[in-house]
Structure 1
């Protein structure tokens, strides 16, 4: 399998990811977790898309806060791959229930907070991630109560990433590294550091 090769996964991790995707397909029939047309390509579209963040987190300590986790991408995938101290934040209680069940089925230790981002009990995150949640400016606004200047932000963005960066830079100072997405020719992974108000 191309995804297994790309991620260099062992049998245990593969089995956990297989169980996760099987559960996703089962729950998708009841609640809309992902775009239905993406299910046949879930390994690439969701797992690899999330897992491509793994090497960008190397050497970074501290809790990982995944905003608007939805079906668990990227936060739950990163936890399954071995990232410790992951908190998934999801306001939709049905999706949060799915995340609880996915964590149980895969044997993954994560904290799941079924609340709006603004209502989250304050924590200091070393890393903040998000995928398909909001504009970059909005993401930085949501993240600020849980971040400091040392926090690393890693966001999966689409074709409008440059436009979003231009808008965000009117309000925020930041160091930006961009990497092309492995799963979307128009997508980019933004790695932001030193984020402060402009």
Structure 2
């Protein structure tokens, strides 16, 4: 119980530092998601972060750091290479009025994501077990987000068909990837590069927002 209380305090304080307003129900859901992540990680290897005390900052608060950029976007979002559900699940909890599709090619991870959807009753969440290149949605997404998924070039090439000229591609990165930006496909441009200050995270964090030009 002490760990749960400590995680709750860290989450609440970190959210305030990020200027993200959490309702009590959202905080309860985020902590329930964290508990499931800790439980399933032992068998499913969902994340390389093994210490539960690190997961609040490295996973929950890191995911919440992009909330203002998602708030400025449309209603239909795709989390590519979602893995253990970051940032898609925290974002789905924060934005119940929007739809989030979590895409991953690893069957164990999509089984975990489906379990989270059921246990947390996230009706605005869809889980898809497929490779990004093979996924064929009915319509383009308003926003496509990735967190440590691939190089910017691969992110753009593998998901090009999932968006259009109105789509915003959000790539969550560590250090500013100048070399990766130089390798962007000709039909993509950098709209903005944003340094993120994630409470409790020591390393650099950046969010790069891309657009298609053709």
Q: TM-score, normalized by length of structure 2?
A: 0.85
Match of 1:146 among 133, 147, 162: 162
- CA–CA separation in structure 2 for the residues paired with 1:38 and 1:45: 10
- CA–CA separation in structure 2 for the residues paired with 1:38 and 1:177: 33
User: 3-state SS of the aligned residue for 1:176?
Assistant: strand
Match of 1:5 among 16, 20, 25: 16
1:98 and 2:112 correspond = yes
Kindly indicate whether the alpha-carbon contact (under 8 Å) linking 1:74 and 1:131 is maintained by their aligned counterparts in 2. Answer: yes
**Structure 1 residue aligned with 2:6:** none
**Structure 1 residue aligned with 2:213:** 196
More off after superposition, 112-121 vs 54-63: 54-63
Q: How many aligned positions are there?
A: 195
Kindly indicate whether the alpha-carbon contact (under 8 Å) linking 1:80 and 1:106 is maintained by their aligned counterparts in 2. Answer: no
**Structure 2 residue aligned with 1:17:** 30
User: 3-state SS of the aligned residue for 2:213?
Assistant: strand
Counting only pairs closer than 5 Å after superposition, residues 12-161 of structure 1 correspond to structure 2 as: 12-37=25-50, 39-83=52-96, 84-109=98-123, 110-122=125-137, 123-159=139-175, 161=177
Q: Structure 1 residue 130: deviation in Å?
A: 0.4
More off after superposition, 97-106 vs 35-44: 35-44
1:61-104 deviations in Å (ceiling 9; x for gaps): 24101100000001111001115111110111110010011112
User: 3-state SS of the aligned residue for 1:112?
Assistant: strand
- CA–CA separation in structure 1 for the residues paired with 2:44 and 2:195: 31
Change beyond 3 A, Cα 1:140–1:38: farther
For the aligned residues, what is the CA RMSD?
1.7
Q: Structure 1 residue 160: deviation in Å?
A: 5.2
Gaps of 5+ in 2: 1-8
Q: Structure 1 residue 3: deviation in Å?
A: 2.1
- CA–CA separation in structure 2 for the residues paired with 1:163 and 1:70: 25
